[in-house]
A and B are shown apart, each in its own frame.
Chain A
Amino acid sequence: MLPIMIVDDSKIIRRKIERCQDASKFQVVATAKNGAEAIQQFQETRPSVVTMDLTMPEMDGIECISNLVAINPDVRILVVSALSDKATGIEALKKGARGFLCKPFTEDDLVNALAELTEDCHV
């Protein structure tokens, strides 16, 4: 199982991602509602996969991505955000994210995005 952390300021989105992810491949080890909480949880639980919202209070997703990648350059980060402009997507990728899923999303959208993100990972 791949340990995964879900970061989003919306509880219903965190729960939706928990419900939708492939339970045979991922194990949710942490959830966080902002970037600062995510860094703390990341250090404690060491997930290899992260879903990351961008617009959050206290510390936004872009800043959080930089911090997580500094801690573990191999972490696979999938941005899950409503910010649908190209510049934001490119900035997230430059900071170290490896995929981008635009909100709103379906269960299939998420499963496919996570599968693509981790296709070369051994479970």
Chain B
Amino acid sequence: MFEDTLQVFIQGVLRYFEHTNDRDVKVGTPYLTENTKPAAYDLSGIIGIAGNNRGCVYFTAPRILLKHLLMSIGESDTSDANLIDLVGEVANTISGNARSEFGHEFMISVPVMLEGAPGGIHLPQDMRSYVIPIYWKSYHAAVVICLENN
């Protein structure tokens, strides 16, 4: 995967957090990981990708980060249902924004939300993923990109 592709998603992460009340987000150095051990925090929002690319993009975060993120966008109801909704919406926003660079043939699915164990995320075993670490407040999260060209 080219550096330019990663940069598109890094910009998407930065753009998302810049629209919250606490914009001080940092993105770590992306790294490769084996799909046999997918990165995951408490909740993940997964977007399937089709068209000119194949694979998935997901946003994964601990509940505590999602609670603070909800509050930073003015939502006082931090119930689990809203945390799950939010993790999917972040994934959808970052993936959808990538179409400004990749075009409309970068087709995205509605988000699928998963809770808990990394084992719930099934990635193609013959591919590897790039993990973009996210640091916001004192919390860690990540965007994970598993894509190949069609």
- A82 to B96 Cα, complex, angstroms: 5
Contacts of A84 in B (CB 8 A): 96-97, 99-100
Q: Is B146 an interface residue (CB 8 A)?
A: no
Contact at A85–B108, with CB atoms within 8 Å?
Answer: no
Contacts of B96 in A (CB 8 A): 55, 81-84, 103
Contacts of A85 in B (CB 8 A): 99-100, 102-104, 106
A-B pair number, CB within 8 angstroms = 67
Chain B nearest CB, measured from A51 CB (Å): 15
Q: Which of B27-35, B81-89, B119-127, B133-141 contacts A (4 or more CB under 8 A)?
A: B81-89
Contact A102:B97 (CB < 8 A) given known A19-B74, A55-B110: yes
Contacts of B73 in A (CB 8 A): 12, 16
Q: Is the interface of A mostly helix, strand, loop or mixed?
A: loop
Contact at A12–B86, with CB atoms within 8 Å?
Answer: yes
Contact at A87–B103, with CB atoms within 8 Å?
Answer: yes
Chain A nearest CB, measured from B105 CB (Å): 9
Chain A nearest CB, measured from B133 CB (Å): 20
Contact with B along A106-118 (1 / 0, CB 8 A): 1100000000000
- A56 to B18 Cα, complex, angstroms: 25
Q: Is A93 an interface residue (CB 8 A)?
A: no
Contacts of A10 in B (CB 8 A): 85-86, 88-89, 92
Contact at B88–A82, with CB atoms within 8 Å?
Answer: no
- CB within 8 Å of A: which B17-38 residues: 18-19
- CB within 8 Å of A: which B92-117 residues: 92-97, 99-100, 102-104, 106, 108-110
Contact at B99–A104, with CB atoms within 8 Å?
Answer: no
- A15 to B79 Cα, complex, angstroms: 14
- Set B74, B85, B110: member contacting A57, Cβ < 8 A: B110
Contact at A13–B100, with CB atoms within 8 Å?
Answer: no
Chain A nearest CB, measured from B94 CB (Å): 8
Residue of A nearest to B93 (CB): A82
- CB within 8 Å of B: which A1-55 residues: 9-13, 15-16, 19, 55
Contacts of B108 in A (CB 8 A): 55, 83
